[in-house]
Amino acid sequence: MQKIVSLAKRRGFVFPGSEIYGGLANTWDFGPLGVELVNNVKQLWWHKFVKSRSDIVGISSSILMNPKVWEASGHVAGFSDPLVECKKCHTRHRADHLKEENGNKCPSCGGTEFTEEKQFSGMFKTSIGPAEDETSIVYLRPETAQGMFVNFKNVQQTARLKLPFGIAQIGKSFRNEITPRNFIFRVLEFEQMEIEYFIEEKGWEKHFDTWQKEMENWLADIGINKKNYVIREHDKDELSHYSKKTIDFEYQYPFGQKELYGLAYRTDFDLKAHKLSYEGMVPHVIEPTFGVERTILALLCDAYTEEKDRIVLKLKPALAPYKVAVFPLLANKPELIKKAKKVFDLLKDEFTTVWDARGNIGKRYYSQDEAGTPFCITVDFDSLDNNDVTIRDRDTMKQDRVSIDKLVDILKQKLK
Ligand code: GAP
């Protein structure tokens, strides 16, 4: 894991949050490459599940909602974790994680005696207005789902949708996790990509299976190796308060097999709770949910490859932060720089392109391999006479010479 954290920092994917002030535990910032990767994931997801379908529409709802939403949804009463304190070193832990992962030993000091379990709310609170009292309290949403449920009528009527149909949203969620850790796996602030798919109760199993396949297809689309995840159904006592059946897609992270995504049959729990209906009945819901940070972590783990003389991030080209890098062979030859700049200008409006003229060519390839850039274009002395360049393929390291006139089309074809 340390190798991935270190590459993520070195190349500008993920930085520790507020680092120059000593950090803020379990907050992370996406750097220049990280934000490109995140945006590519979100765009691909939105395209697959919203833009290319006629039965799903998107919304973007507020993070702050009327607190009554969270009372009705059951979160005020039920969204909590069991908290214990180590009697020896006084660190706090989630009781269920201690049992599962640490054999009931304190991960900080090895102590085995803990205080009684207390329920600890996972919702962050803040307040609206100048007076901080009970009436001003609002919560930062712990899931994007409720924004879609409370807008059910607005969306259904304005988009004139008939069952089955879905509402999708990508946005921030916040959870006051007791023992967040493992890099960006469990953080306080994260993004979710969620769909609430409204159906009739009869036949819910068929919709559930279809969504399971859709999620498997998504994982294949982004290049996650099937061998690296498993699907696990929740036991009855594990189910969330709203769910009748849930499966988790669990990824083999370097620190163990843990949840990546979830798929839940939420029944009619939420619409009933908000007293919402459709043509005299209350639709049931299948909910596929995808965490952005966990997607990024799984992608980094899956793509990270150590070869004899290099580290290479074998991301699918569609997701790679930069698609193309352009280099002049030598950084101190003005004629090469001039020609290479022309090539850069030709490509930059078509693809996310990066310029690199530092150090020697080998170092530049090394750095682009670590960034996951699928193609490197080099302008050398032959380019000046023949108006051509070399294209180097990240994975095979093979180089082809191609005419600059054909470069855009060739790259488009390769990146398809
Ligand atoms: N609306 C259903 C829901 O929120 P969840 O399983 O609690 O279900 C959905 O969360 C997804 O959100 C998870 O599968 C995971 O990808 C992501 N997630 C949840 N808590 C997280 C955290 N503390 N840090 C990062 N991602 C988190």
Q: Which atom of ligand 1 has the smallest separation from the CA of 188?
A: 23
Round to whole Å and give the CA distance between 252 and 309. Answer: 26
pLDDT level of residue 17 (50, 70, 90 thresholds): very high
325-343 residue pLDDT tens: 999 999 899 999 999 999 9
Look up residue 31 and give its amino acid: G
Q: What string of H, E and C letters represents the secondary structure of 380-392?
A: CHHHHHHCEEEEE
- Is any ligand 1 atom within 6 A of the Cβ of residue 81? no
Cα of 167 from ligand 1 centre, angstroms:
18
Round to whole Å and give the CA distance between 16 and 137. Answer: 30
pLDDT confidence of residue 27: 94
pLDDT level of residue 81 (50, 70, 90 thresholds): confident
* pTM for this predicted structure: 0.94
- Is any ligand 1 atom within 6 A of the Cβ of residue 259? yes
Residue 104 has pLDDT above 80, yes or no: yes
Round to whole Å and give the CA distance between 256 and 285. Answer: 31
Nearest residue (by CA) to ligand 1, atom 7, is 143
Round to whole Å and give the CA distance between 178 and 192. Answer: 20
- Is any ligand 1 atom within 6 A of the Cβ of residue 190? yes
pLDDT confidence of residue 93: 87
Residue 390 has pLDDT above 90, yes or no: yes
**372 touches 354 (CB < 8 A):** no
Look up residue 229 and give its amino acid: Y
pLDDT level of residue 133 (50, 70, 90 thresholds): confident
Cα of 179 from ligand 1 centre, angstroms:
15
DSSP secondary structure of 362-373: HHHHHHHHHHT-
Q: What percent of the chain is modeled with pLDDT above 90?
A: 86
32-48 residue pLDDT tens: 999 999 999 999 999 99
Mean pLDDT of 9-37: 96
Residue 348 has pLDDT above 90, yes or no: yes
Q: Which atom of ligand 1 has the smallest separation from the CA of 192?
A: 12
pLDDT confidence of residue 92: 86
**45 touches 290 (CB < 8 A):** yes
- Tokens encoding 9: 């920092």
Round to whole Å and give the CA distance between 232 and 110. Answer: 30
pLDDT level of residue 180 (50, 70, 90 thresholds): low
Q: Cα angle vertex 143, ends 142, 145, to 5°? A: 150
What is the chain's percent helix, strand, coil content, to nearest 5?
35, 30, 35
Mean pLDDT of 138-147: 97
Q: Which atom of ligand 1 has the smallest separation from the CA of 261?
A: 14
Exposure string of 386-409, with b = 16+ CB inside 10 Å and e = fewer, is: eebbbbbebeeeeeeeeebeebee
**407 touches 413 (CB < 8 A):** no
- Tokens encoding 296: 């990024």
Q: Residue 9: in which H helix or E strand, if any? A: helix 2-11
- CA nearest neighbour of 355 among 310, 415, 339, 410: 339
Nearest residue (by CA) to ligand 1, atom 17, is 291
pLDDT level of residue 134 (50, 70, 90 thresholds): confident
- Is any ligand 1 atom within 6 A of the Cβ of residue 266? no
- CA nearest neighbour of 271 among 124, 146, 158: 146
- CA nearest neighbour of 298 among 220, 392, 395: 220
Round to whole Å and give the CA distance between 79 and 119. Answer: 9
Round to whole Å and give the CA distance between 11 and 361. Answer: 17
**328 touches 338 (CB < 8 A):** no
pLDDT confidence of residue 240: 87
Nearest residue (by CA) to ligand 1, atom 4, is 143
- Cα 165 from chain centroid (whole Å): 24
- CA nearest neighbour of 337 among 392, 378, 386: 378
